[in-house]
């Protein structure tokens, strides 16, 4: 790794970059990279099949993802993907790119840093050109817990999530829109749906159930939050729920500490933490939508336990929960001179 006087000092705009995937997260990655000065001619867009896409006035030729497509790249951002066996990330690393993967294929690999830059940027020092960006709900929960761990050891966390349909992909957003139109205009609904039953006016638990009756999402959020915080034994109970909100997740979080922590002390710790926005109004998904912060409010004492606090948070799951966090990882690598020579 290059460090010190020999460290590279390029900006994202001066490097050659690829985005793999052109769904909701991939398109947002492209938009955020363009905002950061990455020229269109230095941005390679890849997907499983070749086509053209238009985004914010730019037209991109989407090339088929192949091993050769990663030649000459500095960064490759993967918008998602769960199948480790067919993942092009390790191939991109061999071809010389630093891979930042938003999918969960490598998140729990011991040798792969799982990073939220505000919390555990130091873990990037051990990267081997493959870095994972966490699950959107794990990012949101870890961002809230990290500043509070400095006040007192945490004994137990209980979290209920209220996750927007955009977290299930573009098809889920289109289905919610179609259900709204059907109510307003009487338009017939398409037969195909990513949901088992209507999502409008409803709640869903639409993740596979795995060990012990927990959903796969619940297992992921617990494991990833522990890894991000470096707290493998942290006691976390979680229930995940899909709600008929287009974008931005919300969480109700109960935290039990080993010793007293006042709401005022918690508010001050959260307000001073990068990426957190504390508010006196209810931090709704609508407030968080389109913003970069994790919004926190309703801080109050929980008198049902010895040293408990309640809070509510909201976060744009496509921005800080996915595309933005991945790009912040790249920016942190550059700032710390942690790109390979």
Active-site residue numbers? 136, 249
Q: Cα–Cα distance between 70 and 92 in angstroms, integer?
A: 5
Distance CA 77, CA 325 (A): 11
Kindly report the number of other CB atoms within 10 A of residue 208's CB atom: 7
Q: How far apart are the first and last CA of the chain?
A: 7
What gap in Å lies between CA 285 and CA 141, rounded to an integer? 15
Q: Which letter does DSSP use for residue 320 in this model?
A: I
Residue carrying the six token digits 């037209």: 59
Cα-only R_g, the chain: 20
> How many CB atoms are closer than 10 A to CB 185?
8
Q: Please name the helix (run of DSSP H) or strand (run of DSSP E) that holds residue 157, with its range, or none.
A: strand 154-162
In whole angstroms, what is the distance from residue 170 CA to residue 186 CA? 23
């Amino acid at each position: 790794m290059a460090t010190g006087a020999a460290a590279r000092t390029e900006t994202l705009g001066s490097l050659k970059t690829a985005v793999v995937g052109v769904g909701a997260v991939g398109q947002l990655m492209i938009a955020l990279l363009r905002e950061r000065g990455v020229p269109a001619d230095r941005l390679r867009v890849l997907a499983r099949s070749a086509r053209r896409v238009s985004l914010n006035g730019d037209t991109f030729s989407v090339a088929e993802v192949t091993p050769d497509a990663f030649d000459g790249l500095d960064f490759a951002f993967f918008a998602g993907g769960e199948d480790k066996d067919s993942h092009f990330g390790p191939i991109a690393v061999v071809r010389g790119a630093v891979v930042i993967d938003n999918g969960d294929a490598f998140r729990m690999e011991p040798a792969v840093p799982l990073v939220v830059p505000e919390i555990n940027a130091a873990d990037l020092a051990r990267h081997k050109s493959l870095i994972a960006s966490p699950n959107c709900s794990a990012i949101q929960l870890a961002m809230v817990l990290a500043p509070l761990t400095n006040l007192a050891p945490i004994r137990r966390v209980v979290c209920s999530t209220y996750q927007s349909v955009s977290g299930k992909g573009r098809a889920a957003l289109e289905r919610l829109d179609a259900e709204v139109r059907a109510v307003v205009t009487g338009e017939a609904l398409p037969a195909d749906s990513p949901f088992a039953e209507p999502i409008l006016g409803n709640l869903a638990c639409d993740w596979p159930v795995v060990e012990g009756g927990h959903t796969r999402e619940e297992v992921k959020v617990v494991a990833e939050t522990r890894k991000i915080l470096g707290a493998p034994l942290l006691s976390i109970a979680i229930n995940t729920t899909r709600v008929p909100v287009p974008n931005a997740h919300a969480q109700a979080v109960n935290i039990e500490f080993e010793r007293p922590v006042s709401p005022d002390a918690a508010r001050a710790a959260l307000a001073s933490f990068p990426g957190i926005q504390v508010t006196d109004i209810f931090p709704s998904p609508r407030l968080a939508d389109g913003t970069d912060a994790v919004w926190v409010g309703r801080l109050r004492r929980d008198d049902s336990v010895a040293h408990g606090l309640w809070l509510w948070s909201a976060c744009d799951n496509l921005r800080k929960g996915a595309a933005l966090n991945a790009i912040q990882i790249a920016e942190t690598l550059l700032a710390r001179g942690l790109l390979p020579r």
